[in-house]
Amino acid sequence: MFTCDYKKLTLSFNEFHNIEGRDMPDYGEFCLLELKDGRYTAGEWLPDNYGKNDPVSGKFCRGTADTVSLDEIAKWHSLNRYDLSACLEDEEIGYINLGHCDEDTYSVRFKNFKSLKDKKYPKSEQYCLLIMMDGGLASGRWDKIPGKGGLFIYASALASYSMDKVWAWTALSDDDVFVSEQESEKERRQERKLNQNPSIDPVRFKYGTDIAVYYEKALKKLLKKYPKATLAQMKKVTPWEIVPYHGQYVFGRVNRFFPGSPTVEEWTEGSTADEFIDFLCKYVEEPVKNYDPDKMFKFGMDIKVYLDRAYENVKKEYRWLNKKILADAPSYAIRQVNGDWEFVKRYKGNRKYYVCNDRSAESFIESVECDYRNAALMANPVVAVYAVPFGRVEINGWYLERYEFSKLKTGDYRVDVQAGDRVTGGNRTFFITPHCFEAKTYEEFLDRYLKIVPPSFGMDKEDLLPNEDLKAFLGY
């Protein structure tokens, strides 16, 4: 490992490029950026018109929904083009020049490096200059993970460097994301202080501060209209709680998705306990109304009956499906959850069962069929692939990235479609049913195929019909 003392290390960046000179980085290159206001940050160069005659239009990406526009930037300096390994192996070194440092060279120096191994962590959302374990340079925004340190987010789709990849770091300038996080943390500290001894409105909390009492009272009202109503069904939608908020107890829905910083949505549609109970009756009415055990379990309480129906339905088209293949599929059961009978699902390798949201036997069987189809496709190896060529295809703001037909070991076919933008994306896999291949002609095949994978996925009949290679790949 490197023997250089990072605490005494200074990096001098000496090869800056002026934005006004229209001399831009390579596509996807990570750069140190000097902003026009004198601050420093970094990012990945993403031109708007890659490969076109306007290479200066674009932005520098620091992470998901986190970019720096060109009109903010004065200069850029590559991070990708340097390997400091040889220098860092010298324990005496304390100053490293990146590029020549002549008399008139524009230079910027960074020091005060710290090590994650010493449990010296950046502040939450702080953007940093990084020296990597392989001697390279990088940048990233610190994402704190409670109790586990954290990681550095460096690009879209939450791409990140783990702690074991970073040798040393130093903070770059404060930016809007970091400042906003600091303000939020200040507000959270103030909120915690206010909530240490919350006040209670005696009218709003006439029945006390146990939310179960209010649910029980709402249930008594609901039973008059819906005799099958239960507490379990009332809590199918995000339950309400009684929590301290801004120094007083409130009825609220709490979002605990982000660890350590729950958010509270306060009930504001009334001011009394009885008004809240009336509101609660309306709030939970939909799941209560739709819960009908007779409809859900119309084929009895033996889960095998439902699974066999799903298996037979799928096997009609996925002809290679067998029970051995389903060993990797989720398993199902009918169990009591909080007193109510429910269809539940457990994934392979997981001991926990999850409640299915299907409100009818038919809906549950369809859900099982979806899992069985996925298991069947995963068990049928691809033996040949044809990637359909295409140009720039826009799909509701995304761009088509992949459109591939695959021949499977059984002789069946599937198609994989992928689309996205610079921040996110998605993909879908479709099985091409045997019915499509019963068509006499390639054109008739496409008519049937496009009902499974409609033109909204990027390709229509006009695109596919002239493609002789695809026609031959599909056996026509």
Q: In this predicted model, what pLDDT tens digit does every residue of 387-410 receive, in sequence order?
A: 999 887 888 878 888 999 999 999
Q: Is-contact 284 214, C-beta < 8 A? A: no
Q: How far apart are CA 142 and CA 377, in angstroms?
A: 39
Residue 23 has a pLDDT of: 80
**pLDDT of the residue at 54:** 56
Mean pLDDT of the region 299-321: 95
**pLDDT at 262 (0 to 100):** 79
What is the C-alpha end-to-end distance of the chain, expressed in Å?
Answer: 60
Q: Is the C-alpha dihedral spanning 466, 472, 474, 476 positive or negative? A: positive
The CA distance from 227 to 411, in Å, is 54
Comparing C-alpha atoms, which of 399, 404, 405 is closest to residue 426? 399
pLDDT category at 425 given cuts 50, 70, 90 is: confident
Average pLDDT over the chain reads 91
Question: Could you tell me which residues are beta bridge partners of residue 404?
Answer: 387, 416
pLDDT at 50 exceeding the cut of 60: no
Q: What is the pLDDT of residue 49?
A: 66
> For 205-220, what is the mean pLDDT?
96
In the predicted structure, residue 232 carries a pLDDT above the cut 60: yes
3-class state of residue 381 by DSSP: coil
pLDDT band at 123 (very low <50, low <70, confident <90, very high): very high
pTM recorded for the entire structure: 0.61
Label residue 320 by pLDDT band (50, 70, 90). Answer: very high
pLDDT at 357: 83
C-beta of residue 343 within 8 angstroms of C-beta of residue 332: yes
Mean pLDDT value of segment 259-286: 91
Residues of the chain with pLDDT > 70, as a percent, come to 96
